Amino acid sequence: MHNFKSIRFLLFFTASAMFLAACTPKNVTTDEQAASDQTVYAESFGPKSADESLDPELEADPQSDNSSLTEAEQTVLNSRFGLLFDLEPHESKEVEQYLKYFTHKARRTFERWLKRSEPYLPHVRKTLTRYGLPQDLVLLPFTESGYNPKAYSWAGAGGMWQFMPFTGRKYGLKVNWWIDERRDPYKSTEAAAKYLKELYARFGDWYLALAAYNAGEGKISRALKKTNTKDFFELCENNRKLSRRSRLRKETQHYVPKFIAISKIFQNLDMLGFEPVRWNQNKDTVAVAIPGGTDLLALARAGKMSWREFHELNPAFRRQVSPPDFKATAHLPVDKADKMIAYLANPSSRPYAGYVRYLVRGGDSWWRISRKFGVPISVLKKVNNTRTNILRPGHHVMVPGRGSSKAIASSGTKSVPTSGRYKVRRGDSWWTISRKFGVSVSRLKAANNRRGNTLRIGQQVNIPKNGKTSSAYASTSTKKRALAAKKGNYIVKQGDSLWSISKRYRMSVSTLKSANGLGSNSLKPGMKLFIPDHSKAATRTAAKKAENAKTAQLVRYKVRRGDTLSKIARRFGVRISDLRRWNGLNRKGTIYTGQRIKVYIR
C-alpha cells in the first residue's frame, strides 16, 4: 500500500511538471514565430491613457444616490413633451434613479459631457436628419461614451458611438494597426446612423432598437422569441424566465432607462440649473483625402501645429504615419489648411518627421526591432519595402512613430537632391528614395529596369521625368507661369489665398498651382492667375459673388420661442433657402429655442 502511494505520488509529480512546462512561455527566436502573434497584437484595442478611458459614471450603479428629487427635478421626471424629443417616454424606477444620479452625484461629470459634446452635436444632428432618424438619438453618445471620441472600453469597443471592431468594419469603418475610424467622430456618426436605421427597420420599436445597439440584434431577437414578448420593458420583466446564457445583462436592462433620463435632463437644462448647450461650437475644419504613407507629424508641423493639436482633430490615427495602402481622411483647420495641403503636394520638403530612423546593430533582427518599438514585423517590412529576413549592421530601418515624444524622428529634415540622377547613400531604400522625389516605387524601379529590392551604396538611380528634379521643374514651371500671365482670367485681390480661390472654383490647390506654374503658396494682389475651364464671364460672376459675400455682415441670431425660418427670413429681409444653406439645414431640418443661427445681412 505504501509502495502504491509512492508510485501514485511519483506519477502525479511527473504529470504536474509536464503541465507546468507546457504552460511556460517559450523563448521566441525567429521572425516566423513572432509573426504568429502579430494578428493578435494588431487587434488589441483598449485605453492606453486617461483621455481614452470611459468615465466610471457610465457604469456606476445609480442606486448609490439616496437623496430625494427636488420639485423641479420631479417636474422634469413627469414631463412628457419637448421640442427635441419625439419618442414617447416610459416611466420606470430606473429612469428616476438615473435622473437623480446625473443631476446630483454625477452632476459635474454630466456638465463635462455637455461641454465635450458641443463640437460634435451639430454634425450628429444633421446626419440623423439626413437619414430620417429621430433627433433624440443625438443623445445616444452620452449613454455610450459621454461623447468621448477617443474612448475605448475594456472589451475593445471604440469611439463616441462605441462600435466593436467587427460591427465597425461591417459599416465601412477601417479598424487596424494604423487607423481606427471608430474614433473619427464624422465617419463613425455616418456608420451609427446606418446601423440604427437598420435596427429600427428590424424591430419596429426604438426601445428595442436601442437595446439591440447595446447587446446585439441577435441576442434581443432570441430573447423576444423565447419570452414571446414584443416590448422592451415587458422583456425585462420576463428576463428571469430565460436561461442564464440568454438573459439580458444588467447593463442592457438599464440602457434604455439611462437614455430616457438623459433625454429628460437635456431638454430641461435651464430648469435643472445646467448651462445651456452652445450649438455653434462645431470645429471649423475641412476633410482632406491624404495619400497612403503620409508623414502626419510633418503634415502637422507644416500647419504649425503640435502633434497633440493635430491628433485632437484626428483621433482616428493610431500612428504618426497614415496607412500605406489606402487614402485616409484628415480633418485640417480651415485657417491652416492652405499650408498643409501645400505640404501634401510636396511631402519631400519635410521628410520622416513621423518616423524613427533606427540604426541596425549586431544581433538585431526584425523580431527584436518589432518588440523594441511595438510595431508588427509585416508593417516594418512593408514600410521598408523588403521581404527578406536578413538585416545588416550599419543599415537603417524606418519605423513609424506612435505619437509619443520617444517616437519623434532623430533624423531631422534633409535637403532634397536636385539632379536627374541620385547617388545611393547608406540607409537608402527604394521606398525612401521614392518619398524624396515624390514618385511611386514601381515607377522608380521601372525607370531603372529593376525588379528586386537590392541597392548598393554609391549606385546611381535614375529619377523618372515626373520626379522633382530642379532643372525639369524650373523650365516647366517658368513656361506655365508665362502662359498663365498671358491667358490669366482672374486677378488676385487683397486677402486672397490659393485655398480660398481653389474652393471658390471647386478645384484642388495642387491643380491651381500646376496650372499656373507656382512653386510656392505666396500670392500678390494684382497677379494674374489662369483658372482652368472658366471663361472671363464666369470669372467675373464668381468674383462678384465673392465680393458680395465679403461685404455681407454676419449676425448670429439666437432663436426665440415661437420663431420659424419664415419669421426670421422676413425679419432680416433674406430668403428661407439662404437661411437653410447658411446653417446646413435641409427641408426637414428644424430650429430650436436657444439655437444660434447664421444670418448674412448685406
Helices (H) and strands (E) in the chain, counts: 27, 10
- Look up residue 213 and give its three cell numbers: 445597439
| 421 close to 461: Cβ distance less than 8 angstroms | yes
| Ramachandran angles phi, psi of 323, nearest 5° | -55, 135
In the block, residue with C-alpha cell 527566436: 29
Compute φ and ψ for 2, nearest 5 degrees.
Answer: -65, -45
Task: Name the H helices within 228-305.
Answer: 232-237, 250-266, 296-302
Q: Three-state DSSP class for 207?
A: helix
Burial of 566 (0-12, 13-18, 19+ CB in 10 A): exposed
Q: Coil, helix or strand for 543?
A: helix
Rounded CA-CA distance 446/569 in Å is 62
Q: Could you give the CA distance from residue 281 to residue 116 in angstroms, rounded to a whole number?
A: 10
Residue 384 to residue 379: CA distance in whole angstroms? 9
- CA atoms of 147 and 295, how far apart (whole Å): 29
Catalytic residue status for 547: no
- Angle, helices 509-516/337-345, rounded to nearest 10 degrees: 60
Report helix, strand or coil for 179: strand
Identify which of 422, 477, 470, 476 has the alpha carbon closest to the alpha carbon of residue 444: 422
C-alpha cell at 18: 509536464
- Looking at 73, 96, 144, 181, which residue is catalytic? 144
- In angstroms, rounded to a whole number, what is the distance separating the alpha carbons of residues 299 and 310? 9
Whether 175 and 169 have beta carbons less than 8 Å apart is answered as yes
139's grid cell:
443623445
Nearest one of 398, 405, 288, 284 to 351, comparing CA atoms: 398
- The residues that are catalytic are 144
